[in-house]
Amino acid sequence: MKRQILSLLLAALMLISVLAGCGKPADENQGTEPPATDGEQGNETEGTENGDISLPSEENYDGKLVFDRSMELSYAKCFSVDYYKGGYKLATISDGTKMLIVPDGMSVPADAPEGAIILQQPVNNIMVASTPVTSLINAIGALDAISLTTYDADSWYIDSVKNAITRGSLVYVGDYKAPDYEKITAAGCTLAFYSTMLTEDVAAQLDALGVDVVLDQSADEEHPLARVEWAKLYGAIFDREAEAEEVFNAQAAYIDEISKAENTGKTVAIFYITSKGALYARNADDYMAKMVDLAGGKYALPDVGVGESGTVKMEFEAFYDGAKDADYIIYVWSLGGKPETLEDFLGRADILSELKAVKEGNVWCTTPDFFQIQDTIGSMVNDIHLMLTAGESTDALTYLRRLK
């Protein structure tokens, strides 16, 4: 009897257990973590071993060089910038110079490229011995990073630079060929940007003082807009990439718009005459000759200095033979004798009066700031285009003026 009662009790207990398990469906999340919130969705790591899903931990890139991407460039070929995780950047210039840009608060990686100049951000207290480089740095809003210059206040046509010298935040340290090394040392400057006109003796002196020198190679670029694109290099150094992109895009927009217009077919000769009477014409592959092409014209001396940038000295007769039928003349005012009138210009040589452009009143001069403002090359090209299409009533543009 007791055995029967015990059996009945066990059976009852088993029935109650079954009913408890079947009373309602089990929650499908029962026994697991709560479902992800909106802010957590998409953080899962897919494809993990055995199908496991886990959230990645925040990587610490301090002191590490883990490649991320490279800067996109449209025209510039003489520099590149590689971006690394954690904000590191490696800038490389065509002459082999490397600059490793280290973010503020981050340490220098042990595997930094050998010989690279280490630039710990924020980068400031630098010397710039190049007006075009200064114009680019100024254009991206980083002028305050420059503390020393090799051009005095009277040499500048950029108002913000002149004002900085006047108030003392930018100090003139002498000519770039013979700077005041005591002032450079006193300023604690350890970085200088020069053009390729840096002399060996100055380079040696700066090296002895522990000043790293970077040579801007923008003058070696093939396309005029590539010179503007060097703003992106300085944008990377000073953490102003967005500003540099804006500067470049604004100048590229001028060229894009001009390219939609029909080519004028007008020819242009570009030259200057020194105070000693020597004539120098721009070479056929110089960036100013290419600016004429971009403006919808044609350089009048296509066989002069082919494959070369810069200028070439010419005899007046040889120049006349090539430029006598040119529709326009652009006289580089800041490099030669500085004529204020057409009469001043013609006084440089009698043969000039026989040029077609002179007879038709199409002699134009560059403005004094033409070579200082590298950030506005697109606007300069636009001025050349306007010159080629302007009527007789137009006497002055932003960077060009007619000699009368």
* pLDDT per position as a tens digit, 45-82: 334 444 444 444 458 999 999 999 999 999 999 999 99
Per residue in 179-205, pLDDT tens? 999 999 999 999 999 999 999 999 999
In this structure, the chain runs to a length of 404
57-87: b (≥16 Cβ within 10 Å) or e: eeeebeebbeeeeebebebbebbebbbbebb
Taking alpha carbons only, the member of 134, 202, 193 closest to residue 165 is 134
Is the model's pLDDT at 36 over the cut of 70? Answer: no
The percent of residues above 90 in pLDDT, for the chain, comes to: 83
pLDDT at position 211: 98
CATH architecture, domain 263-402: 3-Layer(aba) Sandwich (3.40)
Q: CATH 3.40.50.1980 in the chain, residues? A: 67-251, 263-402
Per DSSP (E only), the strands in 121-266 are 126-129, 146-149, 171-172, 191-194, 212-215
Give the pLDDT confidence score for residue 59 in this predicted structure: 82
Model confidence over 331-347: pLDDT tens digits? Answer: 999 887 899 999 999 99
Hey, which CATH number is domain 67-251, 3.40.50.300, 3.40.50.1980, 1.10.10.10, 2.30.30.60? 3.40.50.1980
Helix (H) or strand (E) holding 387: helix 377-389
Say if strands 79-84 and 67-70 run parallel, antiparallel, or are unpaired: antiparallel
Q: For residue range 337-374, what is the model confidence (pLDDT) as tens digits?
A: 899 999 999 999 999 999 999 999 999 999 999 999 99
**Residue 200: Cβ within 10 Å count:** 7
